[in-house]
Amino acid sequence: MAKRVFITGVAGFLGSHLADRFLERGHEVVGNDTFRSGYADNLPSEVEFHEIDCLDLDEMKTAMDGADIVYHTAALAHEGLSVFSPLEINRSIYEATTATLAAAADTGIERFIYCSSMSRYGENKTPFREDMEPDPQDPYGISKVAGERLTTLMGDVHDFDTVIAVPHNIYGPRQRYDDPFRNVIAIFINRMLQGEQPIIYGDGTQKRCFTYIDDAVRPLSKLAFNENVVGEAVNIGPDKEFVSINTLAETIASDIGFDLDPIYVEERPQEVELANCSADKARQLLDYQTEYTLRQGVAEMVEWIDERGPKEFEYHIDLEINNGNTPETWQNELI
């Protein structure tokens, strides 16, 4: 049976890909965005679009009316920056989640899928598992965990299903690549295509897994309908190809044919050294599997950015704290 799916941040990277997925399967998609983090041409033409902020409660209620399922993907997903702009980041996550949940409860939705973050795990031992106690290390992660708990509470009180999705470093076409504060793969590609060396915080030995967008959207879309995920938190990301930032830079440079000589700068405060998740639960509940290697995904993203053309970086969020701890790359707009 076709459903009416509401997606916050529907013109964003993840939101627009989810919209495509549901439209292809015959569902009706409606959503909102302010274009702070996404590109206008990401938005599928078939979406019923509302250019409103999640914080506009009355307008959100009107836009969400008649929706069956809500995916809350909207956020300023700037983990590192949140240490220096905590008010703005918190407002876009916890306050926006509060308003979105209020609209969802008021309009009588069936299921709410909250997109959290791997930042919930902080300094836990890798690989991160869903039953670990959250240990966020920055304001972004703290806000995400608070949003998880509020989602569960509101679902219990107002009688709608809830699912906590925990995506892991998603990248690919449609991701904003002129943002100097986040999306390491996009930043590296954008700089190298302009003949600029990548800037690496610390010594580059910090390690991550990265999820190509197609490999994330397939399992994420199942959260709307699978009964076995209700009330669960589920990691969405690979537990293979756990690579250092140095290796990531080498992979991108190899694809572009770039003579790599990275610029190393001081490490960022509160950056977690090791972050990768266990995908066991997703394999069990969602039949999760990946189709893209890091090298294949990087090649797809390089081609997309190259076709659109590299861009100058836009410092679109003000630093609320500018002191001796603030990265020089942001203070002096060096990226």
In this prediction, residue 162 carries a pLDDT of 98
Domain ranges of the chain: 4-171+211-236, 184-208+242-277+292-331
Q: In terms of pTM, does the model score above 0.85?
A: yes
DSSP 279: -
In this prediction, residue 101 carries a pLDDT of 98
**Rounded to 5°, angle at Cα 87 from 96 and 175:** 60
In this prediction, residue 163 carries a pLDDT of 98
Q: Measured between alpha carbons, how far is 249 from 294 in angstroms, rounded to an integer?
A: 12
In this prediction, residue 44 carries a pLDDT of 96
Neighbouring C-alpha atoms within 13 Å toward the C-beta of 151:
30
Sheet containing 274-275: order of strands: 243-244, 207-208, 274-275
Tens of pLDDT along the chain (335 residues) come to 899 999 999 999 999 999 999 999 999 999 999 999 889 999 999 999 999 999 999 999 999 999 999 999 999 999 999 999 999 999 999 999 999 999 999 999 999 999 999 999 999 999 999 999 999 999 999 999 999 999 999 999 999 999 999 999 999 999 999 999 999 999 999 999 999 999 999 999 999 999 999 999 999 999 999 999 999 999 999 998 999 999 999 999 999 999 999 999 999 999 999 999 999 999 999 999 999 999 999 999 999 999 999 999 999 999 999 999 999 999 999 99
Grouping H, G, I as helix, E, B as strand and the rest as coil, residue 201 is strand
Helix residue ranges, H only, the chain: 13-24, 57-64, 86-90, 96-107, 139-158, 184-193, 213-222, 245-256, 280-286, 294-308, 328-331
Number of C-beta neighbours around residue 123 at 10 A: 13
**Among 51, 47, 39, 54, CA closest to 22:** 47
Q: Is the dihedral of CA 199, 201, 205, 208 positive or negative?
A: negative
Question: Which amino acid is residue 287, in one-letter code?
Answer: D
Q: Measured between alpha carbons, how far is 41 from 176 in angstroms, rounded to an integer?
A: 12
DSSP 41: G
* Of the options 1.10.579.10, 3.10.20.30, 2.60.40.10, 3.40.50.720, the CATH number for the domain spanning 4-171+211-236: 3.40.50.720
In this prediction, residue 172 carries a pLDDT of 98
In this prediction, residue 108 carries a pLDDT of 98
Number of C-beta neighbours around residue 281 at 10 A: 20
In this prediction, residue 225 carries a pLDDT of 97
Burial code of 35-69, b = ≥16 C-beta within 10 A, e = fewer?
A: ebbbbeebbbeebebbebbbebeebbbebbeebbb
In this prediction, residue 1 carries a pLDDT of 87
**Among 275, 261, 248, CA closest to 189:** 248
In this prediction, residue 158 carries a pLDDT of 98
Q: Measured between alpha carbons, how far is 45 from 239 in angstroms, rounded to an integer?
A: 35
Distances (CA, A) of 227 to 161, 163, 230, 285: 9, 10, 6, 9
The CATH-assigned architecture of domain 184-208+242-277+292-331 is Alpha-Beta Complex (3.90)
Q: Give the contacts of 38 (CB within 8 A, at least 6 positions apart).
A: 9, 11, 12, 13, 15, 16, 174, 176
